Structure 1
């Protein structure tokens, strides 16, 4: 199927679009500590037609088949560990709608009220345990990972689907050699900056977030080079190896007609 056959969308890579939330000295230092530096990046693309939510499946499939996407969408090679491009036409897509209704960092205030984080900002420690492959040494990671934790329900299942929560969780868990923070502030600050960079360029309120929910859609995607007999076989994007910390989000802004892609591949150490 040629690009544009489904929904009439054509895409263009926007290499001049930069994401300061991933490139400042302070942020890169944090990403290095969290074992994510060199394994996470954002890219921007534009499209040429009006987008409607009901077109989600056609839009995402057309995106991954477009001749301007295939040579420009980057990922980490499982064989070489180096950055490469998609380089192949994707045959199958699993796209998931991700809600984006939480627009204030007050969303995380309950971490303080539930004594997961102290008033000083220090994360409350706990006895070490494992939730494969993650070491859990504080109450924050228990809330994020352990469903049998007494405080797991501090965030509802619907709230855990929110993009803001997902970003926060991804940053807290980091890569395979992640050095965890003792304070909550770096996680909250980085999640907020990344959210704003990816989701909205609208006028912000005093809290730093848009005054109304952004009019866009988000997808978590993966593709296959061929339709496999085993659904776990043939994965090519974001990686051939599935992991909850290997992810790709497509942030679709129907007003600007832009697509921002956030990508991270879980692995050993940073690559900067």
Structure 2
């Protein structure tokens, strides 16, 4: 099935730079200190709630999505803005018809793998690894203002990123659509 907006011309494109400076996944260790992750990497369950249209049934989703969560401040606004954090959130929350994991390890490993594929690093003058890629969040609309990419730009799980490696002159695209109900 082709992309629903294929062939339509974009008349406006907005671009927002996404912070991308992390070279490890160590910030996610804090999830264990607040009890979001327990024992053998098990994600702690919680009573089911809905935030927007996202179903929350464990503490990991709650700390990633619900600003009212008691542990929301375990990550600063700057850390939440980081591309690696955004990747983890995309994977954990998933789409409308996502099957979730019971442990955090698959999420961390997959986020790390995707991040390493999309983002390039190099050693700085002090020999320390630093990200050289530039990451942009993109929204494109047609002449009537209808969204082209992502399809639902107001939804936190509908995103399009351009990951640019200026040295290799390579642009990679990551697009995620939260999804619709199965209706014909």
- State the TM-score, normalizing by the size of structure 1: 0.61
Structure 1 unaligned runs (5+)? Answer: 1-37, 39-74, 79-84, 204-210
Distance 2:47 2:156 in 1: 24
Aligned CA RMSD, in angstroms, stands at: 2.4
- The Cα shift of 1:248 comes to 0.7
**Distance of 1:94 and 1:156 partners within structure 2:** 25
- 2:20 and 2:62 map into 1 onto residues whose CA distance is 24
Tell me, yes or no, if the aligned pair for 1:234 and 1:240 is still in contact at 8 Å.
Answer: no
How many Å separate the matches in 1 of 2:93 and 2:83? 15
Aligned to 1:254: 166
2:61 maps to 141
Deviation at 1:243, TM superposition (A): 2.1
Aligned residues of 1:116 and 1:140 also touching (Cα < 8 A) = yes
Alignment of 1:54-93 (within 5 A): 76-77=3-4, 85=6, 87-93=7-13
Corresponding residue of 1:97: 17
Task: Please tell me whether residue 110 in structure 1 is matched to residue 30 in structure 2.
Answer: yes
Residues 104 and 240 (structure 1 numbering): CA distance in 2 closer, same or farther, change over 3 Å?
Answer: closer
Specify the SS of the correspondent of 1:193: helix
- CA offset at residue 88 of structure 1? 3.7
Per the normalisation by structure 2, the TM-score is: 0.88
Higher Rg of the two aligned structures: 1
